Amino acid sequence: MKADAIRGHLDGLLLAVLEPGPRHGYAIITAVQQRSGGALELRTGTIYPALNRLERLGLLRSTWDSVGERRRRCYELTDAGRRGLADERSAWRAFTTAIGSVLDPQPGSAT
Amino acid sequence: MKADAIRGHLDGLLLAVLEPGPRHGYAIITAVQQRSGGALELRTGTIYPALNRLERLGLLRSTWDSVGERRRRCYELTDAGRRGLADERSAWRAFTTAIGSVLDPQPGSAT
DNA sequence: AATAATGTGTAGGCTGTCTACCTATGAAGG
DNA sequence: CCTTCATAGGTAGACAGCCTACACATTATT
């Protein structure tokens, strides 16, 4: 996987894995990894700043919870986050359609 | 279209529009625009450095030709360029599969 | 005791794309 | 003749977002 291929698509990934329910950062990484069949391995340095940004934008809200002595920060979607996810999904469809039609043009289309 | 969504996919676009035959820069821009149904509007500042890079890498070769007094630089795929295009296409499929399976998971897959 | 797994986070750098700008020819219209 | 638009090629510099590398702490395993 090319290093910066996911640029511009990270937000959608984060919102999508939070759709079923709240998750903490580490679980987000493993969820993305599992869902993508191991293809996407996000780093902490990638997601934590992004999660902060999404919270600042009001798409996420976070709460601290504790398991024993260990603290973890759980993120969940806000209503704006759900709308944002819908936007990301339609943007993704438009994007893949656009790139796909250039990369693999239909035989009938103009050259 | 998010500004930098195409990051990491530009090379594939350029190689793909050059597959049918040689083209000069301006024609590459219009070809991408037409093939994508107007969704992708590349700028000269985007493609010329990229074309130079691809030529440096040996994926393209360029020749000057003249129409009257006007000179234009025509780019065409090398054999390495054709192989590069095939690589870009399979990378694109892997990429869309990966992102897609996170963004719109199949009901059966693990959360 | 040491190592791996779990868990959160920051600092700094990289690089490819974008914005903005510049130059030049040819055709069309006034 | 002059202006304007389409065609054609190009550079300089900034910017944003992701990556690399690092730091720290707790819990489980060997």
Using alpha carbons, select from A44, A45, A73 the residue that is nearest to residue A61: A73
CATH 1.20.1250.20 fits A10-99, yes or no: no
Instruction: Answer yes or no: is pLDDT of A2 > 90.
Output: no
**CB-CB neighbors (< 8 A) of B99 in chain A:** 6, 9, 12-13, 36, 40, 92
Query: In the CATH hierarchy, which fold is given to the domain comprising B10-91?
Result: Arc Repressor Mutant, subunit A (1.10.10)
Q: Provide CB contacts within 8 A for A96, sequence distance 6+.
A: B96, B100
What residues does each domain of chain B span?
10-91
pLDDT in tens, B52-66: 999 999 999 999 988
Output the pLDDT for position B68: 78
Output the pLDDT for position B70: 83
Tokens of B18: 């050059």
Among all protein residues, pick the one whose CA is nearest to the C1' atom of C15: A4
Q: What's the average model confidence in pLDDT over A33-39?
A: 93
Residue A43 Cβ < 7 Å to strand D: yes
**CB-CB neighbors (< 8 A) of B18 in chain A:** none
Provide the positions of strand C that have an atom within 7 A of a protein CB.
6-12, 16-22, 25-27
